[in-house]
C-alpha cells in the first residue's frame, strides 16, 4: 500500500461569482481571499488556521500576500506547481504531499484571476515562456498551438471533428442547469456550433474557453482530520504530475504530438489509485480548447482515436444517460474559466452529491489538468467507499 | 547581427538558427558526439551527453506535419492582424531527423494538407516577424 493513496482529502470548497473578464469589482488578491474564506467556512475551519498555500501557473497572490488578510497563525508551506493549467491536479498532489510529510496540516489550493489587476492574458498566461519560434511565425499562444495539434489529431489520427463539437455541446448543456454558470444562457445546438466563426482552424468560437475574473479554492487536510469535519470528504487517491520522454518544452517537436501529454501520468494515476478508466463515474476534463480535452480523454485510456467518434458523443457525455459524464458544471467553456480551478470544485461536488448535474451515486471523480501543457497532471478523487 | 529585441521565452539555444537565416542560410543543430539532430536546439545532447552542437546547413524542404489557419487577430501577434486569415505550417524535415519547423505559408493554399511537400524561402527581418528573419513555407 502506498503512503499517498487516500491519506488526504478535500474538505472545503469555495468560489467567487464569475465576472466578465476585466470587470471584477474586487482586485485579484481580494478575490483570492474571498474564495479561501468561503472554502474555510465550507470546511468549518478558521481561516487563520490555514498553514499551507499551493497554486500553479502564473498565480501571483502568494501566501505571503494573503496571510495578513487571513490572520495566518503560521505559514508553514507554500509553493507554485509547474507550468500553466497543466499543474492543477498536481497542485492537489503537492498539497497532499506536504500534509503527508508533516510540513503543514491545513493546505489551501487556489487560483485567482482579474484581468484588470495583472493583465493575465497579456502578461501572465505568457509567463514569458512563449518561444521565439512561435511569436516570429504568427503564433500567439495556446489557441493556435493547440489548434495545430488538434488538426493533426483529426486529419492524420482520424478522430472525428464531431468529438470537438460534442464536447462543447455537453458543456453548454450542463451549464443550462447550473445557476452559477457564466454560459448558462447559451443554447448550443449543431447548427449554432457549425455556424460559429473560426478562431484558428479547426477551432470555432465554441471550441475555445473564455477567461473570467474569478477565484476558486479548496482546502486539504489529512484523512484522519477529515473525519471530524462537517462535509463528506473527497479523498485524494492519486494526483501525479509529469511529462513523458519527448514531451516538455519541445516547441512542437514532441514525440507523441497529438497527445495531450497525459499518458505517463495517467499510467501512474491508475496504478496508484488501483482503479481504471472503466471505474470512473464522472470526469472534469480541462478543455482550454475542446480538441485538447478529446486528446486528454484518449490519453487516459477511456477510448482510442478509432473509438473516439462513438465514445466522445454528446449523448454519452451528459447527465443523465451518458456513461461518461464530463464537465458537469459546464466546465471551462460554459461554467467559467478560472484557469481550470473550477473543475476541482465540481469534482468535489460530485463526490458530495452537490453538483447541479449530479451523477447518481458518484464515487470516483476524475479531474484532469491543462492538456498540451509542457508538464501536466491528473487526479482521481474518491468517496470513503473507494478507499 | 541585426538589431532585434530578443524574445526570451523559449529554451534560448536557437540564436544561431536566427543568425543563419539572417545570412540567408537555413541551418539546424546537430550533436557533434552522436550526430543526433537536436531540435529544438538545446545546450546539451540529452542522448549522449555531449555539450557541443554544430549548425549544419539543411535544404529547406519538407512535408506538412500539421497546420492551422488563424482567423482571429491575436494580441501578441497583432503585427499580422491585416493578414488574417493566414496559415502557419509545421513542416517536418526528413533529412534533418524529422525536425519540425514552423513558418507562415505563402502562395496558393489549395493543396494544403498533412503530408504535402513544402519548400522554404527565407524572409528578411520585418515587423511582422518581430524583427527576426523567418522562413516561409510554400506548397511545392
Residue by residue, DSSP assigns B18-50 as: HHHHHTT--EEEEETTT--B-SS--SS-TTT--
Residue the block writes with cell 469555495: A14
Q: What cell was used for A278?
A: 472503466
Best interface-test mutation with A: which of B97, B102, B120 has the largest number of A CBs within 10 A?
B102
B10 occurs within a structural domain: no
The whole-number pLDDT of residue B4 equals 79
Q: Judge whether A265 is closer than 8 Å to chain B, CB to CB.
A: no
The beta-carbon neighbor of A137 closest among B88, B99, B114 is B88
Q: What's the alpha-carbon Rg for chain B, to the nearest Å? A: 15
Mutate to test the interface with B, among A131, A136, A243 (most CBs of B within 10 A): A136
3-state secondary structure of A216: strand
Residue B27: inside a domain: yes
What are φ and ψ of residue A366, in 5° steps?
-100, 140
Q: What percent of chain A lies above the pLDDT cut of 90?
A: 93
* Preceding omega of A83 cis (within 30 degrees of 0): yes
Q: How sure is the predictor about A175, in pLDDT bands with cuts at 50, 70 and 90?
A: very high
Q: Give SS3 for B67.
A: strand
Per the domain annotation, does B96 fall within a domain? yes
Band (pLDDT 50/70/90 cuts) for residue A128 is low
Whether residue B135 is predicted with pLDDT greater than 80 in this model: the reply is: yes
pLDDT-derived band at B9, boundaries 50, 70, 90? confident
Cβ separation of A152 and B102 shorter than 8 Å? no
Q: For the residues of A95-109, what is the DSSP string, one character each?
A: HHHHHHHTS-SSEEE
Going by C-beta distance under 8 Å and a sequence separation of 6 or more, which residues neighbour residue A292? A146, A149, A150, A260, A286, A371, A372
Q: Report the alpha-carbon distance of residue A52 to residue B64 in Å, rounded.
A: 48
Note whether residue B5 is domain-resident: no
How do beta strands A8-15 and A212-222 pair? antiparallel
**Residue B123 domain-assigned?**
yes
* A128 vs B8, B67, B77: nearest CB: B8
* Mean per-residue pLDDT of chain B: 95
pLDDT exceeds cutoff 70 at A61: yes
Cross-chain residue pair B102–A252, CB shorter than 8 Å: yes
Q: What is the pLDDT of residue A337?
A: 93
Please state the rounded mean pLDDT for residues A230-255. 97
Retrieve residue B43's grid coordinates.
545546450
Residues of A in contact with B6 (CB under 8 A): 132
Distance of CA A119 to the CA centre of its chain: 21
Chain B residues touching residue A136 (CB < 8 angstroms): 7, 129-130, 132, 134
**Could you tell me if B80 lies within 8 Å of chain A, comparing CB atoms?**
yes
Separation CA A188–CA A193 (nearest Å): 6
Sign of CA dihedral A84, A87, A88, A92: negative
The pLDDT-based confidence of B1 (bands split at 50, 70, 90) is: very low
pLDDT category, A58, cuts 50, 70, 90? confident
**Structural domain count, chain B:** 1
Owner of C-alpha cell 484522519: A224
pLDDT at A124 over 70: no
**How confident is the model over B46-74, as a mean pLDDT?**
97
B2 falls within a domain? no
CA distance A20 to chain B (A): 18
CA–CA gap between residue B4 and residue B26 (Å, rounded): 19
Residue A60 vs residue A159, higher pLDDT: A159
pLDDT surpassing 60 at residue A1: no
pLDDT of residue B30: 97
pTM: 0.97
Is a pLDDT exceeding 90 seen at residue A52? yes
Domains defined for chain A, CATH in brackets: 8-123+207-386 (3.40.47.10)
Q: For residues B74-100, give the mean pLDDT.
A: 97
Q: Is residue B81 part of a domain?
A: yes
Residues A228-234, mean pLDDT to the nearest whole number: 97
- For residue A125, is pLDDT > 80? no
Chain B residues close to A132, C-beta within 8 Å: 6-7, 9-10, 14, 18, 130, 132
Give the confidence band of A117 by pLDDT, cuts at 50, 70, 90: confident
Residue A126 pLDDT > 60:
no
Cα separations in angstroms, B93 against A39, A117, A135, A257, B43 = 52, 44, 21, 15, 21
Please check whether residue B42 touches A, CB under 8 A: no
Question: Taking the CB of residue B28, how many other CB atoms lie within 10 A of it?
Answer: 25
CA distance A374 to A338: 19
In a domain, B3, yes or no: no
| A129 to chain B: closest CA residue | B9
Query: Could you count the other beta carbons within 10 Å of the beta carbon of residue B85?
Result: 13
Quote the pLDDT of residue A151: 98
Grid cell at residue A353: 452529491
CATH code of the domain covering residue B93: 2.40.50.840
Q: pLDDT tens digits, residue range A88-103?
A: 999 999 999 999 999 9
Question: In the structure, what pLDDT confidence band is assigned to residue B6 with cuts at 50, 70 and 90?
Answer: confident
Of residues B6, B72, B134, nearest to A199 (C-beta): B72
Domain extent, residue B48, equals 15-139
Predicted confidence at residue A67, as pLDDT, reads 97
- Contacts of residue A155 in chain B, CB cutoff 8 Å? 66, 113-114
- pLDDT above 60: residue B59: yes
Mean pLDDT of A312-325: 98
Residue-averaged pLDDT of chain A: 95
What is the residue-wise DSSP string for A28-82?
Answer: HHHHHHHHHHHHHHHHT--GGG--EEEEETT----HHHHHHHHT-S---EEEEES
Whole-angstrom distance, CA of residue B114 vs CA of residue A151: 9
Amino acid at each position: 500500500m502506498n503512503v499517498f493513496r487516500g491519506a488526504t482529502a478535500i474538505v472545503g470548497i469555495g468560489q467567487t461569482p464569475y465576472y466578465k473578464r476585466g470587470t471584477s469589482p474586487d482586485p485579484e488578491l481580494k478575490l483570492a481571499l474571498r474564495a479561501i474564506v468561503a472554502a474555510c467556512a465550507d470546511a468549518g475551519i478558521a481561516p487563520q488556521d490555514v498553514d499551507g498555500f499551493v497554486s500553479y501557473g502564473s498565480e501571483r497572490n502568494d501566501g505571503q500576500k494573503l496571510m495578513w488578510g487571513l490572520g495566518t497563525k503560521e505559514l508553514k508551506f507554500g509553493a507554485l506547481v509547474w507550468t500553466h493549467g497543466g499543474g492543477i491536479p498536481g497542485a492537489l498532489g503537492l498539497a497532499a504531499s506536504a500534509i503527508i510529510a508533516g510540513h503543514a496540516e491545513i493546505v489551501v489550493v487556489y487560483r485567482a484571476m482579474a484581468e484588470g489587476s495583472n493583465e493575465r492574458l497579456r502578461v501572465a498566461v505568457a509567463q514569458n515562456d512563449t518561444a521565439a519560434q512561435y511569436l516570429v511565425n504568427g503564433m500567439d499562444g495556446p489557441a493556435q498551438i493547440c489548434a495545430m495539434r488538434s488538426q493533426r489529431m483529426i486529419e492524420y489520427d482520424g478522430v472525428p471533428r464531431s468529438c470537438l463539437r460534442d464536447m462543447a455541446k455537453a458543456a453548454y448543456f450542463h451549464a443550462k442547469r447550473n445557476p452559477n454558470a457564466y454560459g448558462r444562457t447559451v443554447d448550443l445546438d449543431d447548427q449554432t456550433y457549425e455556424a460559429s466563426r473560426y478562431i484558428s482552424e479547426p477551432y470555432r468560437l465554441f471550441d475555445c474557453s473564455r477567461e473570467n475574473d474569478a477565484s476558486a479554492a479548496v482546502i486539504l487536510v489529512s484523512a484522519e482530520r477529515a473525519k471530524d469535519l462537517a462535509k463528506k470528504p473527497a479523498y485524494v487517491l492519486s494526483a501525479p504530475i509529469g511529462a513523458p520522454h519527448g514531451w516538455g518544452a519541445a516547441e512542437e517537436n514532441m514525440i507523441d504530438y497529438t497527445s495531450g501529454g497525459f499518458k505517463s501520468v495517467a499510467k501512474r494515476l491508475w496504478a496508484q489509485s488501483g482503479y481504471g478508466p472503466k471505474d470512473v463515474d464522472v470526469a472534469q476534463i480541462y478543455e482550454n480548447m475542446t480538441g485538447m480535452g478529446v486528446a486528454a480523454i484518449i490519453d487516459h485510456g477511456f477510448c482510442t482515436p478509432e473509438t473516439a467518434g462513438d465514445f466522445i458523443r454528446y449523448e454519452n457525455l451528459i447527465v443523465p444517460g451518458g456513461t461518461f459524464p464530463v464537465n458537469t458544471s459546464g466546465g471551462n467553456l460554459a461554467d467559467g474559466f478560472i484557469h481550470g480551478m473550477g473543475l476541482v470544485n465540481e469534482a468535489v461536488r460530485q463526490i458530495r452529491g452537490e453538483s447541479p448535474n449530479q451523477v447518481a451515486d458518484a464515487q470516483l471523480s476524475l479531474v484532469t489538468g491543462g492538456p498540451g501543457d509542457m508538464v501536466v497532471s491528473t487526479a482521481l478523487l474518491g468517496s470513503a467507499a473507494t478507499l | 547581427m541585426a538589431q532585434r529585441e530578443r524574445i526570451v521565452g523559449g529554451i534560448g539555444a536557437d540564436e544561431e538558427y536566427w543568425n543563419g537565416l539572417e545570412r540567408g542560410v537555413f541551418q539546424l543543430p546537430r550533436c557533434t558526439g552522436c550526430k543526433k539532430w537536436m531540435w529544438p536546439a538545446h545546450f546539451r545532447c540529452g542522448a549522449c551527453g555531449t555539450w557541443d552542437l554544430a549548425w549544419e546547413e539543411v535544404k529547406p524542404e519538407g512535408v506538412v506535419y500539421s497546420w492551422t489557419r488563424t482567423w482571429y487577430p491575436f494580441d501578441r501577434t497583432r503585427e499580422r492582424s491585416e493578414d488574417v486569415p493566414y496559415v502557419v505550417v509545421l513542416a517536418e524535415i526528413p533529412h534533418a531527423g524529422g525536425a519540425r519547423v514552423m513558418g507562415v505559408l505563402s502562395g496558393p493554399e489549395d493543396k494544403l494538407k498533412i503530408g504535402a511537400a513544402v519548400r522554404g524561402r527565407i524572409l528578411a527581418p520585418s515587423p511582422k516577424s518581430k524583427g527576426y528573419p523567418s522562413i516561409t513555407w510554400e506548397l511545392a
